[in-house]
Homo-oligomer: A and B are copies of this chain.
């Protein structure tokens, strides 16, 4: 068992309160409040060369994406900010955080600022609270026969990160997707009343879809050929099977994945939303994971996405 898996197992033993939802759902639900916390580490979750404004934006956005996946409305945030004596960096980081907070109506309510020892990587945490709507879909409510709908492009962020790793001065729409993801709050709020299960796609579509199916006690079928690849993605990486597998396993997308009963059409529910929406597959009886594209069956790649592992 990986180190993180062992720690998570221990945490699950401790988190017995019903509001914790067994730690299986990215968020906690306390009364009508949806609670989430994401921590990002310099050199692990963002590049030391990333502009601090974009780090601030991304910290807000990844937490807001958790609210989006539960159909919740932003209510407030607490920031954990580690300082290393660099005013300019901190100022720009806060400007980026302020920008995403303002854009999505998330008030900053408090937190903590602490000093770091010299040379230590920054660790930045944000707790976000949201007001739940009438329904808060979990990962586990999916039923065999539900269609799986994907909202938002996948692959852009991983392609942008690949560009940055090859050239730290890279720029363009893919780099922007990596640095400044957009949380899909409007789409999430529209889908939540209807979705049998929903989550955001942060670790790779294939990995997250398997998690949703497993939590729902189902198998799944995903069709790579319908992936909503952006024009920029196609230009950078093409759209053959390898490109589609890269997009489906890259992570950092902050797309939404929703299981809807077969008689519902996400395109109708999301009419007027600008996000890309595709029916990417379905939940099935059993526990098999069937991956196809327009050429037929696709062997499952060894790596389905970004598996967190501290070891």
Task: Give the interface of A toward B (CB within 8 A).
Answer: 3-4, 6-8, 10-11, 14-17, 19-21, 23, 27-28, 30, 33, 35-41, 43-45, 75-76, 78-87, 90-91, 94, 97-98, 101, 107-117, 120-121, 123, 125, 127, 129, 308-311
**Copies assembled:** 2
Q: Is the CB of A44 within 8 A of B116?
A: yes
Q: Which 6 A-B pairs have the closest CB atoms?
A: A83-B310, A17-B107, A28-B109, A115-B310, A123-B123, A28-B110
Q: Is the CB of A110 within 8 A of B308?
A: no
CB distance from A17 to the nearest CB of B (A): 4
| Bound CA span A218–B157, Å | 54
Chain B residue with the shortest CB-CB distance to A32:
B31
Assuming the contacts A78-B127, A91-B10, asked whether A113 and B83 have C-beta atoms less than 8 A apart, the reply is no
CB distance from A310 to the nearest CB of B (A): 3
Assuming the contacts A17-B109, A114-B40, A127-B37, asked whether A7 and B310 have C-beta atoms less than 8 A apart, the reply is no
Mostly helix, strand, loop or mixed at chain A's interface?
A: mixed
CB-defined contacts of A107 to chain B, threshold 8 Å: 15-17, 19-20
Known: A11-B111, A14-B98, A113-B310. 14 other contacts (CB 8 A): A3-B85, A4-B115, A7-B83, A7-B91, A11-B81, A14-B101, A20-B109, A28-B76, A37-B127, A39-B112, A39-B125, A85-B311, A113-B308, A120-B120
